[in-house]
Homo-oligomer: A and B are copies of this chain.
Amino acid sequence: MYEVALTSREKNRDGDPIISLTPAVSRPDKASGCQACGARQKSICAALSSGDLPMMAAIRSDVRFAPNQTVFFEGDPADSLFNVKQGVVKLFKLLADGRAQITGFLFPGDFLGLALLNKYSYSCEAVTASELCRFPRVEFERLLERFPALEREVLSTASNELAAAQDQMLLLGRKTAQERLATFLIMMRRRTAASAQADTIVLPMSRQDIGDYLGLTIETVSRTVTRLRKSGTIELPDPHRFVIRDPEALAALSGLEDL
């Protein structure tokens, strides 16, 4: 098993050479079809009919990652695209001195790997133990040509991400710490919606990750969480479990229209 204890941030600080590790736990699994995939309905694969699914199954394989393990680094040759099947992964960019900006957290069903010039323009790391469905780029592009509905779906996904990115720019450029955290909690609640306990959201990422996503330090995240807690807007059974006591108050703080 590879040494994966260091985060990419620390690697960068120490000036170690940045080398993409092959997955520590990899289970090529082409045999298993896509029918049984739990993420299928939520992912781009939904664009294909059951009859066409085997075409996709033929080129895919499963890869697993331990928490904090790197999927790929910014600058790596972008020869794969992925669908998240299980777990949570993060996309991020680094500055030379180690400052990090997480550009997104990806959940089951989310798609990643669009790239230009055949280089990834961001790094990807597992937040929790994760399972990704991998497609070699060349074969995937052949699939896009063959199935316009799939390409349409990818374009739709990209448009979605673009809109989310613009929201995030508004957050990073103009919102206060409290507005950022409130917005974040509401967005996470939307993603987890339709679960049994709609108002309890479990955030598997660390305070550092939340800070790197919201453009804040861990201290500010912690203090702001405390403030929301003391005001009665949220409750914290444990540091990763957020119970939203007053959704309206949270929405009012977030600068968003609705929940």
Contacts and interface: CB of A to CB of B under 8 A. Distances in A.
Copies of this chain, count: 2
Nearest to A93: B170
Given A145-B148, A148-B148, A170 B114 contact: no
Given A101-B170, A166-B103, A158 B160 contact: no
Contacts of A155: 151, 154-155, 158
Interface residues of A, number: 40
Contact of A174 (B101, B148, B173): B101
A227 interface: no
A18 interface: no
A162 B163 contact: no
Contacts of A96: 255
Interface string A71-107: 0000000000000000000010101100111010000
Interface string A153-174: 0111011111101111110111
12 contacts: A96-B255, A101-B169, A101-B170, A115-B163, A121-B163, A148-B151, A155-B158, A158-B158, A158-B162, A161-B162, A165-B169, A172-B172
Nearest to A94: B170
A148 B168 CA distance: 31
Interface in A186-217: 212, 214-215
Contacts of A100: 174
A121 B256 CA distance: 13
